[in-house]
């Protein structure tokens, strides 16, 4: 019955000794964080609750102090990350709904109805409908016409042909894509990656705040130097993958394969990796800048390639993880932290 009190006393003594080696900045921030939490606990309510100023305090603390997790006891660190995500959504919602009108103008209802009527009655495509609208005096883009046309049912034969192509060329096939990451200052960073279909390896990754076609071309050159290019490369219909990028790919011996418009499932391998990266890394951290995001993803890629098992690889890792047998009857399983303890790899260790 005396073990728990002794453990708490020893922990308190160690924390007190640690303060002797802390800088003045750390001491001030730690004192401020503890007093803020204490003020919440002494509230005269049935249950202490954190209001908007309290949440904002910890979001700002997570941006300015690297040891904020050590002093946070009232909520979990993942809760602070979730507050930051909510603030990011509120900020961009406010920015998009301000008085000044920015972005594309909305399409009138009569134009939308006319596009659907022409597509239904005559089975015309977007170029033909766009031409008719121009002759009627409507100023609208062909991309807008394509977006507003009614969806046709998926062709099962086309889907089957696509699956067959992916299966037959998996060893010489890769895919590239962008994904968006919010920062602590509510900015946007764009992560670019190229993933191999055969072993699900990430062949290249980089980050930028201003993606351009020339930047993508440079990434392709870095990913496939000295005539080591893949045979086929899947890409979506993003405007950044323009004719200049396609021409560079073909000059490198890469055959570009564009997916169908508004069908991201055709690039399923890349989309699934983005989902894994978000669930296993980005949803648990607040990204500060390009350098921070690049360092985090590189740590995740090491774990992803060497440790993480994949269902599509028969429960193996992309780099190939050997099966470890128990070295001795006294050996125990230990957890080896990865990505600063966010994930773990389990190994046998002989007891000392």
Arithmetic mean of pLDDT, 1-15: 52
Q: What is the pTM assigned to this prediction?
A: 0.70
Arithmetic mean of pLDDT, 156-183: 86
Listed residue (86, 30, 80) closest to 54, CA to CA: 80
Q: Quick: pLDDT tens for 35-75.
A: 777 777 777 566 777 777 777 777 777 777 777 777 777 77
**What is the number of alpha carbons within 13 Å of residue 95 lying toward its C-beta?**
9
Classify 334 as helix, strand or coil. Answer: strand
Strands of the sheet containing 255-258, edge to edge, are 202-208, 188-196, 173-182, 232-235, 255-258
The answer to whether residue 9 is domain-embedded is no
pLDDT for position 5: 52
**Residues spanned by the domain of 338:** 323-352
Instruction: Please tell me whether residues 304 and 226 are part of one structural domain.
Output: yes
Q: How far apart are CA 133 and CA 114, in angstroms?
A: 9
* Contacts of residue 147, Cβ cutoff 8 Å, sequence gap at least 6: none
**What is the number of alpha carbons within 13 Å of residue 177 lying toward its C-beta?**
23
What are the CA-CA distances from residue 222 to residues 189, 215, 298 (Å)? Answer: 20, 11, 16
* Contacts of residue 177, Cβ cutoff 8 Å, sequence gap at least 6: 192, 193, 235, 236, 267, 270, 271, 274
Identify the domain boundary among 55, 73, 96. 96
The answer to whether residue 2 is domain-embedded is no
Instruction: Please tell me whether residues 300 and 208 are part of one structural domain.
Output: yes
Instruction: Please tell me whether residues 138 and 162 are part of one structural domain.
Output: no
Arithmetic mean of pLDDT, 139-160: 76
Confidence grade of residue 119 (pLDDT, cut at 50, 70, 90): confident
Instruction: Please tell me whether residues 128 and 208 are part of one structural domain.
Output: no
- Give me the number of domains the chain comprises: 4
Largest CA distance in the chain: 89
pLDDT for position 89: 81
The answer to whether residue 163 is domain-embedded is yes
Confidence grade of residue 292 (pLDDT, cut at 50, 70, 90): very high
Tokens at 141, concatenated: 């883009």
Q: Quick: pLDDT tens for 191-219.
A: 999 999 999 999 999 999 999 999 999 99
Confidence grade of residue 1 (pLDDT, cut at 50, 70, 90): very low
pLDDT for position 15: 53
């Amino acid at each position: 019955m005396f073990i728990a009190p002794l453990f708490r006393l020893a922990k308190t003594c160690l924390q007190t000794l640690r303060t002797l080696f802390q800088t003045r900045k750390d001491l001030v921030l730690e004192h401020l964080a503890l007093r803020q939490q204490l003020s919440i606990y002494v509230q005269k309510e049935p249950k202490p609750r954190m209001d908007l100023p309290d949440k904002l305090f910890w979001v700002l603390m997570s941006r300015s102090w690297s040891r904020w997790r050590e002093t946070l006891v009232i909520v979990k660190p993942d809760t602070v990350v979730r507050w930051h995500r909510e603030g990011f959504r509120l900020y961009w919602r406010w920015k998009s709904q301000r008085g000044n009108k920015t972005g594309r103008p909305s399409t009138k209802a009569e134009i939308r109805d006319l596009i659907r009527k022409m597509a239904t009655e005559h089975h015309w495509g977007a170029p033909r409908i766009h031409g008719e609208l121009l002759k009627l005096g409507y100023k609208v883009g062909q991309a807008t016409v394509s977006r507003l046309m009614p969806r046709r049912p998926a062709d099962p034969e086309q889907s089957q042909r696509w699956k067959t192509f992916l299966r037959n060329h998996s060893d010489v096939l890769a895919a590239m894509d962008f994904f968006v990451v919010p920062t602590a200052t509510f900015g946007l960073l764009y992560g670019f990656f190229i993933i191999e279909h055969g072993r699900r390896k990430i062949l290249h990754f980089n980050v930028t705040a201003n993606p351009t076609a020339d930047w993508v071309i440079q990434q392709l050159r870095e990913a496939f130097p000295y005539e080591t290019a893949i045979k086929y490369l899947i890409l979506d219909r993003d405007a950044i993958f323009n004719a200049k990028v396609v021409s560079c790919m073909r000059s490198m011996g890469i055959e570009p394969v564009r997916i169908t418009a508004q069908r991201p499932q055709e690039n399923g391998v890349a989309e699934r990796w983005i989902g894994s990266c978000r669930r296993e890394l980005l949803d648990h951290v607040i990204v500060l800048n390009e350098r921070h995001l690049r360092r985090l993803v590189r740590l995740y890629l090491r774990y992803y390639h060497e440790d993480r098992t994949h269902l599509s690889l028969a429960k193996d890792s992309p780099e190939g993880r050997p099966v470890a047998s128990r070295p001795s009857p006294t050996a125990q399983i230990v957890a080896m932290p990865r990505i600063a303890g966010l994930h773990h790899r389990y190994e046998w260790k002989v007891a000392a």
